[in-house]
Amino acid sequence: MSACHCGSGKAYAACCGRLHAGDSSAATAEALMRSRYSAYVLGLEPYLLATWHPSTRPASLDLAADTATRWLGLDVKRQQVQDEAHATVEFVARYRIGGRGHRLHEISRFVREDGRWFYVDGVVSGS
């Protein structure tokens, strides 16, 4: 069994795979963020769009055209719960394009509606 891309240490099928398959929904904003990272690794555009809040969701991501990005790892720095419907997750995602390494350091905002967490938006840090 292969390890989940999100860095949880669990097998993919027992971690983000359940969410990607629609068998369950993310219990926390951090779990949703981890599943979204794994979805980027696997090119699961429908999942990413479905978990993006409608108020900020783009029409498409065109992940199929992005063959140059290779995701390398995820480090969740912290999750902060404001209340039962709002949370932020700070993370660093490492990736490579054309042999050159990059880091995406973001503080993402999430909202919970009708029992489901959604990604709203994020602020990218310079580090």
Residue 17 inside a domain? The answer is yes
pLDDT at 1 over 80: no
Q: Check residues 99 and 47 and name the one with the higher pLDDT.
A: 47
Instruction: Provide the number of structural domains found in the chain.
Output: 1
Q: What pTM was estimated for this model as a whole?
A: 0.94
How confident is the model over 31-50, as pLDDT tens digits? Answer: 999 999 999 999 999 999 99
6 is a domain residue: no
* Range(s) of the domain holding residue 116: 12-125
32: domain CATH number?
A: 3.10.450.50
Contacts of 34 (CB under 8 A, 6+ apart): 4, 6, 7, 8, 15, 16, 74, 76
